């Protein structure tokens, strides 16, 4: 009997601030040989350019590393609502929207499915798979909080980009790795990005 292939994790990048989190998440998953189905919205692509200086998907590929990218990452067009991540019959390990704009959270919470990102998230919820959204917004309005509660009650996980400080971060990467590590924990992907409470320091990158 053949060994079943590892199910891909759908990763979406939308227009909320926090491109560094997305880049580190994709890089870590790819280097761990976890298949990634990547969807980048138009606003997400602009965010990568503004915040990280990556003006194209090819630039993102080069930043992650061409070899690991080609082995692990598959790109989908956000306009293609008929792509594989849009189907509940296609098996995935779940989905992460990182960063996740408040507009995307609102759309997912209300099931509007106007794009592949939103449809894939809708499918993830209805199939009872892990959906993790990573908002980076402050402060939250009542509308934001209502939408996040609605999404949580539907089975999603709201994981704000709120790094901790008990691991005594020294660099921006330390702060980024804290949040990415929490995402990976919820995906049940092993990592050593950050020292856990009471644990040994994380190895140097």
199 falls within a domain:
no
200 falls within a domain:
no
Mean pLDDT value across residues 32-38: 96
CATH number reported for the structural domain that contains residue 178 in this entry: 3.40.50.1950
> pTM value?
0.93
Q: Report cis status (omega within 30 of 0) of the bond before 99.
A: yes
Q: Is the pLDDT of residue 137 over 90?
A: yes
Q: Is the pLDDT of residue 185 over 60?
A: yes
Mean pLDDT value across residues 3-25: 91
150 falls within a domain:
yes
CB 87 within 8 A of CB 126: no
Mean pLDDT value across residues 109-129: 96
Sheet with 36-40: strands ordered across: 73-76, 36-40, 9-13, 94-100, 131-135, 157-158
96 falls within a domain:
yes
In a 10 Å sphere around its CB, with 0-12 CB exposed, 13-18 middle and 19+ buried, how is residue 142 labelled? exposed
Q: Which segments of 5-140 does DSSP mark as H helices, in order?
A: 19-31, 42-52, 57-64, 66-72, 102-110, 116-126
Q: Is the pLDDT of residue 187 over 80?
A: yes
CB 140 within 8 A of CB 105: no
41, 45, 48, 53 alpha-carbon torsion, rounded to 10°: 180
Q: Is the pLDDT of residue 199 over 90?
A: no
Number of domains in the chain: 1
What integer pLDDT is reported at residue 196 of this predicted model? 79
4 falls within a domain:
no
φ and ψ at residue 99, rounded to 5 degrees = -75, 165
What the block records as the tokens of 90 is 């296609």
What integer pLDDT is reported at residue 3 of this predicted model? 45
198 falls within a domain:
no
Pick from 76, 96, 130: nearest CA to 24: 96
Strand partners, 40: 13
CA distance 55 to 100: 19
What integer pLDDT is reported at residue 2 of this predicted model? 46
Q: Is the pLDDT of residue 51 over 50?
A: yes
203 falls within a domain:
no
Per the structure, the complete domain to which residue 135 belongs is given by 9-187
Sign of CA dihedral 133, 125, 108, 58: positive
For the chain, what is the mean pLDDT? Answer: 93
- How big is the chain, counted in residues? 205
Q: Is the pLDDT of residue 203 over 70?
A: no
Share of the chain above pLDDT 70, in %: 94
194 falls within a domain:
no
């Amino acid at each position: 009997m053949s060994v079943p292939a590892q199910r891909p994790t759908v990763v979406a990048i939308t227009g909320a601030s926090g491109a560094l989190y997305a880049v580190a998440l994709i890089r870590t998953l790819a280097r761990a040989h976890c298949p990634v189905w990547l969807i980048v919205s138009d606003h997400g692509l602009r965010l990568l350019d503004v915040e990280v200086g990556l003006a194209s998907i090819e630039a993102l590929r080069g930043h992650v590393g061409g070899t690991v990218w080609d082995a692990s990452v598959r790109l989908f067009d956000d306009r293609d609502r008929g792509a594989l991540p849009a189907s509940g019959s296609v098996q995935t390990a779940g989905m992460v929207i990182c960063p996740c704009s408040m507009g995307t959270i609102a759309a997912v919470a209300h099931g509007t499915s106007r794009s592949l990102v939103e449809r894939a998230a809708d499918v993830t919820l209805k199939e009872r798979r892990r959906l993790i959204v990573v908002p980076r917004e402050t402060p939250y309005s009542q509308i934001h909080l209502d939408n996040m509660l609605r999404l949580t009650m539907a089975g999603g996980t709201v994981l704000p980009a709120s790094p901790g400080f008990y691991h005594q971060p020294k660099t921006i990467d330390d702060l980024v790795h804290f949040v990415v590590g929490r995402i990976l924990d919820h995906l049940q992907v092993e990592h050593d990005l950050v020292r856990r409470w009471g644990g040994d320091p994380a190895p140097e990158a």
